[in-house]
Structure 1
Amino acid sequence: MNDLFQSLFQLFESSPVLVAAYDGFDRLRYANRAFRSAYFIEPEEMPFWPDLMRRNHYAERGTVIRAEDFEEWLISTQSRRGKVGFRAFETDLVDGRWLWMTETVQEDGWMLCIATDVTDLKASTREVRQDRDLAIKASYTDELTGVANRRFVTARIEDMLQGQVTDESPLPGCLCVFDVDHFKIINDQYGHHNGDLVLKDFAKCIHRLVRRTDCFGRVGGEEFVLTLPATSIEQARLIVERMLVGVRKSRPLKDRPDFKYTFSVGIAAAQVGDTAISLFSRADRALYRAKLAGRDQIHIDDASSDRPSQIG
């Protein structure tokens, strides 16, 4: 077996095809010579994907990023990266090469990336393909915050529920519904521009704590949704507790350094027979109870746990 692994390793190292593997936390765990060369990675390095993209962008190398604000681009891209089992797309490098990239994702979040140089293929239609890819991206992205929109996150809820087969099978995960507390008052008192800044700040705060296998998106107004595949209700509670703490510390308005805000959240664990609508409804009811209880807290759907569900 060791001989087989060694042979495979040598084949990957000598191949002109770019090959890389990322773990569920989006940390690079393997990259062959071609991939390391294209993205300026030292042989023993294992950077996280966002850190790799950030350093290459500011060094003006690696992937071409057509965005005025890199951090906004990063949030938008991470909102879709690794959320589906397979996707393929075209990307270009600063050195002029064009790559056809595929991403294959396992249930545990590990992702295999394979890229082939297609610089000389169908260059005349490249602009059309790029415009198509940008249009697809826009159709899945919330314009204000850059995170996934209702359409994309709903599809990820349905994907999560597909793992639900029998009573003996592990339940596929949890759904969280968020609501920024007293958002109408924020808009009325500080203006719609500052209200937009609060929503953008909230999306950034939450997004920092979202795993790559999860999907976070805005479904309308001040309401957001987070899917947590293969996650127990207690794990979901711990994840969201960290988010509560992070948002409480945030001060999003530069001209009003004392301004702070909070959010409420309802969590529901997927049950056998759930649909995207029924799961969302239970999480939304839990959110309503969190708001009735005083806001700035989590409430667990009663059907998801027999334990006391309210926490501060």
Structure 2
Amino acid sequence: MHNVTDHLRAMYEDTPVLVAAYDPFDRLRYANRAFRGAFFIEPAEEPFWPELMRRNFHAGRGTVIRAPDFEEWLVSTLSRRGKAGFRAFETDLADGRWLWMTETVDAEGWMLCIASDITSLRAEDRAVRQDRDFAIKAAQTDDLTGIANRRYVTTRIEDMLGQAAADGSTAGSVAVLDLDNFKYINDRYGHHVGDVVLRDFARRIQAQVRRTDCFGRVGGEEFILVLPGTSAAQAALLIERMLTVIRRSRPLSDRPEFGYTFSAGVSETLPDDSVASLYTRADKALYAAKLAGRNQLVTDSPASEPTPRQA
């Protein structure tokens, strides 16, 4: 077996196919010569994916990113990256090459990336396929914040429940997050400030989300966090950290005293749950958090009334 492993590693180094593996925290743990060359990675380097994309963008190399604001693009991309078990797409490099990229994610969150050079394919066909990919992304994206929308989040909940039904594993939890007193913010400061707050919230929460989780906006000031393989107690620990992050945020440069908070309801999956039943329990817990004074989370307990927890 050891010889087979060594032989495979040697073949990976020599193949023109790009091969890489990222850990659950999105840190590069392996990249062959072709991958390192395409994305300007030193042999001993193990950068995080966002860091790698950021430095290549500012250097004008690596993946072509057609976005005026890199950080907004990054938030949007991270809201979908690694959420499905497998996806395939086309991407182009600054050096003119065109790649067919696949991403395979296992149950623990490790991602295997394999890319082949398809530059020789007809350019007009590539343009049509890229337009298709852009259209799919737009259909999954919230226009204001750039993160996943209701349709995409609902699909991820369905996937989570379906996987648990198929293999008997623990499905996970869902959290409904809602900004506190958002109507007051809009009424006092204007809808422009409200939009700034929504984008700030999306960016800061997305930065706290694990790659196996999915975070999206479902409408107004309401957001959903999908947490596969995560108990309600574990979800509460993650959200308590998010509560602290948002309490410290000061999104308005001309009003340094301005801050905001959110409330959350968490529900852990039950064996016969549907998307609707899981969401309803989380929404009920959110309502209890609002009644308890806001700026906190409440965990749904099927055997009793929802239990408040303030970080």
TM-score by length of 1: 0.97
Q: Please list every run of 5 or more consecutive structure 1 residues that lacks an aligned counterpart in the other structure.
A: none
Q: Which residue of 2 aligns with 1:77?
A: 77
Q: Which residue of 2 aligns with 1:161?
A: 161
Q: Which letter maps to 1:58?
A: H
Q: Which residue of 2 aligns with 1:26?
A: 26
Alignment of 1:59-208 (within 5 A): 59-165=59-165, 169-208=168-207
Higher alpha-carbon deviation: 180-189 or 118-127: 118-127
Q: Which residue of 2 aligns with 1:243?
A: 242
Q: Secondary structure of the equivalent of 2:164?
A: coil
Q: Which residue of 1 aligns with 2:300?
A: 301
Q: Which residue of 2 aligns with 1:268?
A: 267
Q: Distance in 1 between matches of 2:303 and 2:254?
A: 42
Give 1:57 deviation, angstroms. 0.5
How many equivalent pairs are there? 311
Q: Which letter maps to 1:301?
A: D
Q: Which residue of 1 aligns with 2:290?
A: 291
Q: Distance in 2 between matches of 1:238 and 1:215?
A: 16
Give 1:93 deviation, angstroms. 0.3
Q: Which letter maps to 1:295?
A: R
Given that 2:266 and 2:285 are in contact with CA atoms closer than 8 Å, whether structure 1 keeps it comes out as yes
What does the per-residue CA deviation read over 1:24-71, in whole Å, with 9 as the maximum and x for residues that have no partner?
111111100000000001111111100000010001100000000000
What is the identity percentage for the equivalent residue pairs of Structure 1 and Structure 2? 64
Q: Distance in 1 between matches of 2:109 and 2:97?
A: 29
Given that 1:267 and 1:286 are in contact with CA atoms closer than 8 Å, whether structure 2 keeps it comes out as yes
Given that 2:296 and 2:308 are in contact with CA atoms closer than 8 Å, whether structure 1 keeps it comes out as no
Q: Which residue of 2 aligns with 1:50?
A: 50
Q: Which letter maps to 2:47?
A: P
Q: Secondary structure of the equivalent of 1:174?
A: strand
Q: Secondary structure of the equivalent of 2:52?
A: helix
Q: Distance in 1 between matches of 2:262 and 2:183?
A: 13
Structure 1 residues 307 and 125, CA gap change in structure 2 (3 angstroms): closer
Q: Secondary structure of the equivalent of 1:224?
A: strand
What does the per-residue CA deviation read over 1:118-169, in whole Å, with 9 as the maximum and x for residues that have no partner?
0011222221111111111000000000100000000000111113339x94
Higher alpha-carbon deviation: 291-300 or 118-127: 118-127
Q: Distance in 2 between matches of 1:228 and 1:114?
A: 26
Q: Distance in 2 between matches of 1:228 and 1:23?
A: 17
Q: Which residue of 2 aligns with 1:229?
A: 228
Q: Distance in 1 between matches of 2:86 and 2:65?
A: 22
Structure 1 residues 105 and 37, CA gap change in structure 2 (3 angstroms): same
Give 1:309 deviation, angstroms. 4.0
Q: Is 1:11 paired with 2:26?
A: no
Q: Distance in 2 between matches of 1:259 and 1:165?
A: 46
Q: Distance in 1 between matches of 2:304 and 2:107?
A: 25
Q: Distance in 1 between matches of 2:127 and 2:303?
A: 49
What does the per-residue CA deviation read over 1:219-244, in whole Å, with 9 as the maximum and x for residues that have no partner?
00000000010111111011000000
Structure 1 residues 239 and 17, CA gap change in structure 2 (3 angstroms): same
Structure 1 residues 196 and 306, CA gap change in structure 2 (3 angstroms): closer
Q: Distance in 2 between matches of 1:183 and 1:232?
A: 29
Given that 2:295 and 2:310 are in contact with CA atoms closer than 8 Å, whether structure 1 keeps it comes out as no
Give 1:304 deviation, angstroms. 7.5
Q: Distance in 2 between matches of 1:304 and 1:153?
A: 27
Q: Please list every run of 5 or more consecutive structure 2 residues that lacks an aligned counterpart in the other structure.
A: none
Higher alpha-carbon deviation: 31-40 or 229-238: 229-238
Given that 2:215 and 2:224 are in contact with CA atoms closer than 8 Å, whether structure 1 keeps it comes out as yes
Q: Which letter maps to 1:182?
A: N
Q: Secondary structure of the equivalent of 2:259?
A: coil
Q: Secondary structure of the equivalent of 2:115?
A: strand
Q: Distance in 2 between matches of 1:10 and 1:87?
A: 26
What does the per-residue CA deviation read over 1:204-256, in whole Å, with 9 as the maximum and x for residues that have no partner?
11011000000000000000000010111111011000000000000011111
Give 1:302 deviation, angstroms. 2.1
Given that 1:302 and 1:309 are in contact with CA atoms closer than 8 Å, whether structure 2 keeps it comes out as no
